[in-house]
Structure 1
Amino acid sequence: MVYRLSASLSGHSQDVRGVASPTAGLVLSASRDATAIVWEKSQSEPKFTISATYKPSEGFINSIAYVPPSADAPQGHVVTGGQDGIINVFTLGDPSTEPAYSLIGHTANVCALTSSPTGNLVSGSWDTTARVWRDFKELYVLKGHTQSVWAVLCIDENQTLTASADRTIKLWNQHKEMQRFHGHNDAVRGLVLVPDIGFASCSNDSEIRVWTLQGDLVYTLVGHTSFVYSLSILPSGDLVSSGEDRTVRVWKDGECSQTIVHPAISVWTVSTMPNGDIVSGCSDGVVRVFSSVEERWAPADELKLYDDTIANQALPSHQLGNVKKSDLAGPEALSQPGKKDGQVIMVKNGNLVEAHKWDSNTRTWQRMGEVVDAVGSGRKQLHEGKEYDYVFDVDIKDGAPPLKLPYNANENPYQAAHRFLTRNDLPLTYIDEVAKFIEKNTSAVTIGQSNEQYVDPYTGASRYVPRGTSSQAPAPSTSYGSGAVNSANVDPFTGASRGSGPQKILPVLAPLPFKQANVTAMQTKIQELNESVKASDATLAFTAEEGANLTEIIGALSTNNASVLTGPHITLVAGIIARWPQASVFPLIDLLRVVLANNPAALKSVKDKQTILSALFGALGIDQPWEMPLPKARETNVLLVNRTIANMFVPQAGSLPAAWSTTALESLGRIPAEAWTKGTLLALATLLFNYSCAIHHSQKAAQDQETHLALIETVLKNPNSEPEAQYRALVAFGNVVKSSAKPKLGKATSTWLRLSSAAAKKNAEKRMQDLVNEVQSLIV
């Protein structure tokens, strides 16, 4: 049984991110071109043709599912999920292309959809949750993953499987977690039921694992050479997979029985038909159908064109392992048969390195293309749950660990440099130096037949850029929504497009936590200072219980397992801060900041948040005189306290903070203007922005709105305030003005107009000009 091309369905202009094929005559596809297409064929029309095209919004569509027929939909429903977080339901066969239902609940990109035979729908999202829907109404929210939920699977009406970028798979009974599956070493991307066994999963670790529902690993399938994105099951029970190595693979009895190479970089998705045909969706925008039945194969000339297209491509070396030309055999190696189907070898043919794949059905080596140097230092690298072509280590100072600088080959180096500097609170004066570093250490390669630049809205991974086209125009931007735009030319703070025309920026509702940390250095400094404190007053040193708890906190942060940290861990750190000398507490404040950044939910279990604030402002000496210039230790504490409180506001997004926020803002308002430095003003501006995210949806004015506005004014007026701090403060002001309960500015309107105009003069960036224009239009 050999699969060959049956049909190529061309209708999308960008990556096909999802396919479904519930019948032999129906294919559904979803694309980052913002459309979903229904392809149908009948006995009278043997070729697939487009019967409907849906475009629910301007954002990418990243997932698609088919819901079986019901009384109100005799042909079933088509369900799409995308960038805006909305799930849209269309009635198949209805001449209207408007959604019959729009399901609201997710707060970020919906990247996974599946349905049960009786019509239950399950969705997975970047917001780290999965949701179960019945009759297109939310039934359960499945909470427990710490990163994006990239795959969902219905076992039956009550049991659901979810897979996540946090490397775990969870089995749920209704809304309760029943079983957790560990084993993959990277993000888990796909799930499928395996009859009589359980289920299979695939991952960025290049492996496919088959499990029982009781948690036993049955076997592991190894063969893909890069990320495995999608799984499906054939009527025979054989598995089908697709991935970043340009292949669809068919697995029989634990072995790869056939490798189907595609003329595209990424095979994002795969599905199977009841008749045994295979459907794939790729980064070249084409949906392809493959069949093992010769009568359904494409004409001979189309098959030859397909094979020739593959043979003439350039392949990235990271998909095939490290290439050392001097160790390669010549073309004579092709006279020896391969060991198994899909085996790839490389041969040196003159100055070229060629890749050939063994086809066990024809007993021949098939040329896959020329091997070229790969983008980056290997396969795409994962950084904080997203994929990048490069992740550089940047040494900032001696003795400190390097910072991570992620970069995609199609990005503007200045955009990546700006993101890196603001993320790590480094002066923007370094932007030219960082951009030149990126340009010096990156290069492009020719891959595939497409000249388009692609940015994966699903993971953040970019497509490769043709050689010699560094000056290409950026990818077209999409409409702004919820603080994020998937564009190659965006504002790294708000996500707003930097196109030529005015852009709507407000509101920006995604808080900015301070997450960068060197946990090992913190641990060393805390231990060192504990010995110093102990020498001066033994009663101030750690108790045995406190020492054990601190070790537990450090261990959890070091292993990316912050979800185990709870309210008592936070109050323990706050208790030590409260009793230690002001000059010694800075690593403990920083540790508290990192705990809050990595597990915001832990703060919710702290009943008395005033005790945390009391410890923090005690460390500042808020009631003590403010001599100028500030001693270095006190300035450091001001910086870290602002960052920590900024992180305290992150889990409050979408709800009105409690009374503790009044204490926080009023205390910060007591710090004199001359005490604020460039770094502390940026931290304060971020805090004010995070607070504005929290109160935006409030139906009544916050109890501390006046104090909040006064602090924003402090940032905008302070001569030490750099453009980035002013920008964040002005966004915070815009969020409040745009909120449900607008502030009554009255005579203060002229003051805000003057302050915003001054900010625009100080920062001539177009994003600031656009923001000022929008803010002023709201208050005039």
Structure 2
Amino acid sequence: MKLTLLGKQENAHEDGVWSAAWAPSSADAPGGVVVTGSVDETVKLWQVGDSGLQPDRTNAGHSLGVVSVAVDPSGTLAASSSLDSIVRVFEVSTNEQKAALESPPAETWGVAFSPSGKQLAVAGGGSGTVKLWSMETFQQEGNLEIPLPAEAGSKRSQGRFVLAVAYNMDGRRIAASTMDGTIAIFDVATLKFMHTLDGHHMPVRSLAWSPTEPRILYTASDDCHSHIYDAEGKGLIAALSGHGSWVLSVSVSPDGTALVTGSSDRTVRLWDLSLRSCAQVMSDHGDQVWGVAFRPTAPGEEPSQRGGSRLVTVSDDRSIALYDFS
């Protein structure tokens, strides 16, 4: 397996780029659309061609830096979460805002759409919760509370700070990660806490479920490791080591064979999951890599039909890199 750099968009934003997500290929956008969020308070949409990215539209509705973006599986809606404590939901094709979901300060961080696209999960930061919002009514319809750590002291409040959230492939489970390194697993149907996954001892900033195995979860942590968990059996399957600093982002290829991680060591690593080893190191960014994202398959499309997968990476150096994955 291999990553090949297709193009790099320098100065894509006016400040560091912290997040990226894809809208799948469609008749109007055969190469897919990349959505990026930046500390410069904007969300940008990019048309993807064979050799690079072309700027399409800009959403300037936030008043503070954008920390997370997500696109629903159909590519219809996108969501952006900002330090202004607002999650904005807008149409990908028109940029029309559909809703502004407001929360108290420090309670909007990572965002993720359910596989059906009917629900949006928002990591609740200092509230110690995950908020679930209906994408049909744009009303909150659930609240998942992360249990407090057993130990007392300052780590109690730190452990409750929720950074990232993700649904598994069948939509039955939600994973939420915290500042103290634990990952909480919830049952979506009952909104009940199930258990935690342990093994990290520093913040876990990014989560990605396997697209082929509904119980396999991948993590990225400030402890310089990415972990592979059996989220149902509560077991740590493997720890991937190699980055020289915080691992900030993680994404899985649509066929489930490869993992990509981005780090504050300024590198992107490609991991062969069958061997659980690093297959390639990319050093195309000049600052920490906050986001990595494989292009998803379109609804009804098999991964083997995708005609070559794509990967985008974004960095504090204000650039976006586009890769071919083969």
In the alignment, residue 29 of structure 2 is paired with which amino acid? Answer: A
Q: CA deviation at 1:68?
A: 0.9
- TM-score w.r.t. the length of structure 1 is 0.32
- In structure 2, which of residues 118, 121, 136 is the aligned counterpart of residue 161 of structure 1? 121
Instruction: Give the Cα–Cα distance (whole angstroms) in 2 for the partners of residues 48 and 206 of structure 1.
Output: 33
Task: Give the secondary structure class of the aligned counterpart of 2:55.
Answer: coil
Change (3 A) 1:52 1:225: same
Q: CA deviation at 1:141?
A: 0.9
- In structure 2, which of residues 258, 261, 267 is the aligned counterpart of residue 286 of structure 1? 267
Residue equivalent to 1:76: 32
Question: 2:96 matched to 1:137?
Answer: yes
In the alignment, residue 256 of structure 1 is paired with which amino acid? Answer: L
Change (3 A) 1:181 1:53: same
Change (3 A) 1:453 1:271: closer
- TM-score w.r.t. the length of structure 2 is 0.73
Question: 2:219 matched to 1:241?
Answer: yes
Query: 5 Å matches for 1:683-722?
Result: none
Q: CA deviation at 1:179?
A: 1.3
1:242/1:249 contact within 8 Å kept? yes
Task: Give the secondary structure class of the aligned counterpart of 2:105.
Answer: coil
Residue equivalent to 2:198: 222
Q: CA deviation at 1:73?
A: 1.0
Task: Give the secondary structure class of the aligned counterpart of 1:150.
Answer: coil
Residue equivalent to 2:166: 192
Q: CA deviation at 1:209?
A: 0.7
Q: CA deviation at 1:153?
A: 0.9
Residue equivalent to 2:133: 172
Instruction: Give the Cα–Cα distance (whole angstroms) in 2 for the partners of residues 117 and 246 of structure 1.
Output: 30
Q: What is the CA deviation profile of residues 576-617 of structure 1, one whole-angstrom value per residue up to 9, with x for unaligned ones?
A: xxxxxxxxxxxxxxxxxxxxxxxxxxxxxxxxxxxxxxxxxx
Question: 2:107 matched to 1:126?
Answer: no
Range that drifts further, 177-186 or 239-248: 177-186
In the alignment, residue 265 of structure 1 is paired with which amino acid? Answer: S
Give the superposed CA RMSD.
Answer: 2.9
Q: CA deviation at 1:64?
A: 0.4
1:123/1:131 contact within 8 Å kept? yes
Q: CA deviation at 1:98?
A: 4.6
Residue equivalent to 1:104: 60
1:58/1:478 contact within 8 Å kept? no
Instruction: Give the Cα–Cα distance (whole angstroms) in 2 for the partners of residues 291 and 125 of structure 1.
Output: 33
Instruction: Give the Cα–Cα distance (whole angstroms) in 2 for the partners of residues 261 and 103 of structure 1.
Output: 37
Query: 5 Å matches for 1:209-608?
Result: 209-213=184-188, 214-234=190-210, 235-237=212-214, 238-252=216-230, 253-276=233-256, 277-294=258-275, 298=279
1:145/1:164 contact within 8 Å kept? no
2:180/2:201 contact within 8 Å kept? no
Change (3 A) 1:217 1:296: closer
Change (3 A) 1:88 1:223: same
Change (3 A) 1:181 1:295: closer
Q: CA deviation at 1:143?
A: 1.0
2:17/2:317 contact within 8 Å kept? no
Instruction: Give the Cα–Cα distance (whole angstroms) in 1 for the partners of residues 171 and 23 of structure 2.
Output: 24
Q: Which ranges in structure 2 are unaligned for 5 or more consecutive residues? A: 148-158, 291-315, 319-326
Q: CA deviation at 1:60?
A: 0.3
1:103/1:137 contact within 8 Å kept? no
Change (3 A) 1:54 1:137: farther
2:129/2:162 contact within 8 Å kept? yes
Instruction: Give the Cα–Cα distance (whole angstroms) in 2 for the partners of residues 210 and 217 of structure 1.
Output: 6
Task: Give the secondary structure class of the aligned counterpart of 1:265.
Answer: coil
Count residues in correspondence. Answer: 264
Change (3 A) 1:52 1:129: same
State percent identity of aligned pairs. 24
Instruction: Give the Cα–Cα distance (whole angstroms) in 1 for the partners of residues 46 and 317 of structure 2.
Output: 23
Instruction: Give the Cα–Cα distance (whole angstroms) in 2 for the partners of residues 453 and 278 of structure 1.
Output: 21
Instruction: Give the Cα–Cα distance (whole angstroms) in 2 for the partners of residues 232 and 478 of structure 1.
Output: 24
1:229/1:243 contact within 8 Å kept? yes
Instruction: Give the Cα–Cα distance (whole angstroms) in 2 for the partners of residues 58 and 137 of structure 1.
Output: 23
1:109/1:125 contact within 8 Å kept? yes
Change (3 A) 1:292 1:80: same
Instruction: Give the Cα–Cα distance (whole angstroms) in 1 for the partners of residues 255 and 227 of structure 2.
Output: 18
In the alignment, residue 219 of structure 1 is paired with which amino acid? Answer: H
Q: CA deviation at 1:158?
A: 3.1
Question: 2:130 matched to 1:149?
Answer: no
Q: CA deviation at 1:50?
A: 3.0
Instruction: Give the Cα–Cα distance (whole angstroms) in 2 for the partners of residues 57 and 47 of structure 1.
Output: 24
2:7/2:53 contact within 8 Å kept? no
In the alignment, residue 251 of structure 1 is paired with which amino acid? Answer: Y
Q: CA deviation at 1:55?
A: 2.9
Residue equivalent to 1:60: 16
Which structure carries more strand by proportion? 2
In the alignment, residue 175 of structure 2 is paired with which amino acid? Answer: A
2:6/2:52 contact within 8 Å kept? no
Q: Which ranges in structure 1 are unaligned for 5 or more consecutive residues? A: 1-5, 7-45, 303-451, 457-476, 480-780
Instruction: Give the Cα–Cα distance (whole angstroms) in 2 for the partners of residues 259 and 221 of structure 1.
Output: 13
In the alignment, residue 250 of structure 1 is paired with which amino acid? Answer: I
Residue equivalent to 1:435: none
Task: Give the secondary structure class of the aligned counterpart of 1:48.
Answer: strand
Instruction: Give the Cα–Cα distance (whole angstroms) in 2 for the partners of residues 257 and 51 of structure 1.
Output: 35
Change (3 A) 1:222 1:296: closer
Larger Rg, first or second structure (1 or 2): 1
Change (3 A) 1:202 1:295: closer
1:65/1:79 contact within 8 Å kept? yes
Instruction: Give the Cα–Cα distance (whole angstroms) in 2 for the partners of residues 181 and 295 of structure 1.
Output: 33
Which structure carries more helix by proportion? 1
Q: CA deviation at 1:282?
A: 0.3
Residue equivalent to 1:754: none
Instruction: Give the Cα–Cα distance (whole angstroms) in 1 for the partners of residues 225 and 24 of structure 2.
Output: 30
1:108/1:125 contact within 8 Å kept? yes
- Asked which structure has the greater RCO (Cα within 8 Å, sep 6+), the reply is 2
